[in-house]
Amino acid sequence: MALYRDRGVVLRTYKLGEADRIVVMLTRGHGKIRAVAKGIRKTKSRFGGRLEPASHVDLLVYEGRGDLDIVSQAETVDHFAHVRDDLERLGRAVAILEAADQLALEREPNGRLYDMLVGALRTLAGHDAPLVVAGFLLKALALEGFRPQVEACVACGGDGPLVSWAVEEGGLRCAAHRQGPAVSPEAVAVLQDMLGGRLGGALAERRPAVVSEVDHLVVRVFEHHAERRLRSVGALHQG
Ligand SMILES: [Zn+2]
């Protein structure tokens, strides 16, 4: 069996048999992989707690013949202890891991997505920022080629004021072309910061009403895109 080295983030794990787990990881060089960690559920496992969701690890992996590889060694790069110690941050980390899992393709390297994932977890470990999940989702969409238009009305190109989000069309609309859920001026400013290279400014936003509004909008847009993507992948497999 061929061995390879890589670095990855654990997205999720599930039980296999009596003592093993399958660990789903986003790696830098091999895209999303599934690998068996043998004996990991035994008390004296050689993997210890190093392969838990959000763990960032250096890996030595046996390449399997089918979908499943086998983890030979895992060394911690970063355990993100501050994320695990805080339920709110852990919840945000799990949402980020789920989104990365949805977007990543098996055995297709996506270095930008990997870097964004590690960056988002590092940000969370440094300090809690309520909008870190929304920021990750929006930037991940942009990476996929679905960058929402937040600077100008998607109907007329005018710069506003922008008052609603036309989810189907992937962007904001002005008052004359209002369509879709309403968006407050504060939320528009946050969205423009997130996509305009001013993520730090967006992450400083802590007003609960603005945070909640942006969160809901971005999740809705992300889900719309993810469903469409799922359908197109399904159609490809049928065709
Ligand atoms: Zn317009």
Ligand 1 (ion): residues with CB under 5 Å are 153, 155-156, 158, 174, 177
Block residue for tokens 């809690």: 128
Distance (Å) from CA 36 to ligand 1 centroid: 53
- Residue-wise pLDDT for 168-184, tens only, equals 888 999 999 999 999 99
Instruction: Give, as one character, the DSSP assignment of residue 180.
Output: S
Distance (Å) from CA 144 to ligand 1 centroid: 25
Q: Any bridge partners for residue 7, and if so which? A: 58
Distance (Å) from CA 192 to ligand 1 centroid: 17
Q: What are the distances in angstroms from CA 187 to CA 161, 172, 178, 203, 234?
A: 12, 11, 16, 12, 34
pLDDT band, residue 229 (cuts 50/70/90): confident
pLDDT on residue 239: 42
- If one compares 167 and 25, the residue with the highest pLDDT of the two is 25
Cβ partners under 8 Å of residue 118, min gap 6: 9, 56
Q: Give the chain's mean pLDDT.
A: 92
- If one compares 62 and 232, the residue with the highest pLDDT of the two is 62
Cis ω before 148 (30° cut-off from 0) = no
pLDDT band, residue 87 (cuts 50/70/90): very high
Distance (Å) from CA 186 to ligand 1 centroid: 19
Distance (Å) from CA 218 to ligand 1 centroid: 21
pTM of the model: 0.91
Distance (Å) from CA 42 to ligand 1 centroid: 61
Phi, psi of 24 (to 5 degrees): -95, 125
Residue 90 structure tokens: 């852990």
The stretch 214-238 carries a mean pLDDT of 79
- Convert 111-139 into a string of H (helix), E (strand) and C (coil): HHHHHHHHHHHHHHHHCCCCCHHHHHHHH
Distance (Å) from CA 167 to ligand 1 centroid: 15
Distance (Å) from CA 217 to ligand 1 centroid: 19
Distance (Å) from CA 181 to ligand 1 centroid: 15
The stretch 54-74 carries a mean pLDDT of 95
pLDDT band, residue 66 (cuts 50/70/90): confident
